[in-house]
Amino acid sequence: MSALRNEHLSYSRLSRFEACPLAYQLHYLDKHTAEPGIPLSFGKALHAVLERLLQEVIDTEYAGRLSEGRALQLYREAWAAEGLSGLDLFQQGLGILQDFVRQQGRVDSRDILAVEKEFRLPVGPFTVLGYIDRVDWVDDETVHVIDYKSNYQLFTREELDSSLQLSLYALAARRMWPWAKKVRLSMWMLRHGVRQETTRTEEQLEAALAYIETLGQQMEKAESFPARLNPNCVHCDHRRNCPAYAQALEGQRDVVCEDTSDLESVARERQEVAHLAKILGARKAELEGVLRAHLAEKDELVLAGTRYRMFNTTSLDYPLEPTVAVLARTTGLPREELMQRLASVEKKALDALLKDAGKRLGSARAALLKAELDSL
């Protein structure tokens, strides 16, 4: 085979091409400067802290609990290195790291096989290059591959079981630790304090290898790289150079269903509208942020024929049980129906309750309970 367009493949290259060929072209072929957003920089800062914390455990052959103080020190360094700002975001990261240290509990350097481990995996004519956040020894025939995620949303079971990234890690782990008959795979969801675990069968790994090689051949042979609008466009680090994104901001559409009895056409338009709505919603929030910053210095702005002012708002809460009792007595509606229609749980109060419950339930059970409630 002639010289390859890609010196190597990686999960990042594969997933970028899979999601949007134009983003792949701009990033890897045209080598445009990326504009990483705050979520990516924030995630990198957290990863840097966790990598150094555990690497120090290995280097010093340490056994014991991780230090919250050391985590904070490393976090300050990583925060500055990524150029992040904002008290609320800083507190989020601090809370995530404190929860991680507490949930991790005791560590032993002898149980950590690798941190930020590089691998090179041959797949057909390609070499797949990657890095695994962490690999732990479980027993004499089992290793545990862990990938840290700072996502707001948990993965569904289907997403976890079909993750190409985890399949790559499973293949790499088997190659680097051939004595391991079993490979456990986890996404450690840092915001939720939950490890979502899965495994892979031989058939799944064979399918992953075939898919990677097929995708790699597509990347090599592609003559055009069309943009593909998707829900992640608002976070794309090349959206400024994407004509499809610019058209989306202008509300331009490619799919308009003329015949609503054609369900295939209905579904295509619905998908496009959903993507546009997310892109436009994110842009609206960005513009409102600019206006809010100026309204912090002025009482009001009159722009483009519209008056903008900031107002203090208050909320009024009714005591639950007396209110439901009065309504049940007056309307005759059953208490269960009234509760379903009126009652909701305030997040801060719930978080405080879960924190207290965690002292009795233990961190693992409390984390699973929180994840279950978040999924509601």
**Candidate ranges 26-30, 36-40, 55-59, 153-157; pick with highest mean pLDDT:** 55-59
What is the arithmetic mean of pLDDT over 23-35?
90
Radius of gyration of the chain (CA): 25
What is the arithmetic mean of pLDDT over 214-236?
88
pLDDT-derived band at 246, boundaries 50, 70, 90? confident
Tokens of 49: 């802290």
From 95-109, 121-135, 280-294, the region with the lowest mean pLDDT: 280-294
* Tens of pLDDT, residues 107-128: 999 999 999 999 999 999 999 9
Q: pLDDT at position 1, please? A: 45
What is the arithmetic mean of pLDDT over 279-283?
75
Q: What percent of the chain has pLDDT over 70?
A: 96
Q: pLDDT at position 104, please? A: 93
* Tens of pLDDT, residues 44-86: 999 999 999 999 999 999 999 999 999 999 999 999 999 999 9
In whole angstroms, what is the distance from residue 313 CA to residue 23 CA?
A: 42
φ/ψ of 63, rounded to 5, equals -140, 125
Tokens of 358: 């965690």
User: 255 or 15: whose pLDDT is higher?
Assistant: 15
Element (H, E) at 122: strand 112-123
In whole angstroms, what is the distance from residue 251 CA to residue 269 CA?
A: 13
Tokens of 137: 């020894």
pLDDT-derived band at 315, boundaries 50, 70, 90? low
User: β-pairing, 142-149 with 182-189?
Assistant: parallel
Q: pLDDT at position 364, please? A: 63
**What structural domains and CATH numbers belong to the chain?**
110-215 (3.90.320.10), 263-309 (no CATH), 320-374 (no CATH)
Q: pLDDT at position 235, please? A: 79
Q: pLDDT at position 168, please? A: 97
Q: Would the pLDDT of 258 be above 80?
A: no
Q: Would the pLDDT of 263 be above 80?
A: yes
What is the arithmetic mean of pLDDT over 14-36?
91
Q: Which long-range contacts (CB under 8 A, 24 or more apart) does 211-216 make?
A: 211/164, 212/9, 212/14, 212/123, 212/126, 212/128, 212/164, 212/168, 213/123, 213/124, 213/125, 213/126, 215/14, 215/17, 215/18, 216/6, 216/9, 216/14, 216/123, 216/124, 216/125, 216/126
Tokens of 356: 């207290």
User: 35 or 13: whose pLDDT is higher?
Assistant: 13
Q: Would the pLDDT of 2 be above 60?
A: no
C-beta separation of 13 from 219 below 8 A:
yes
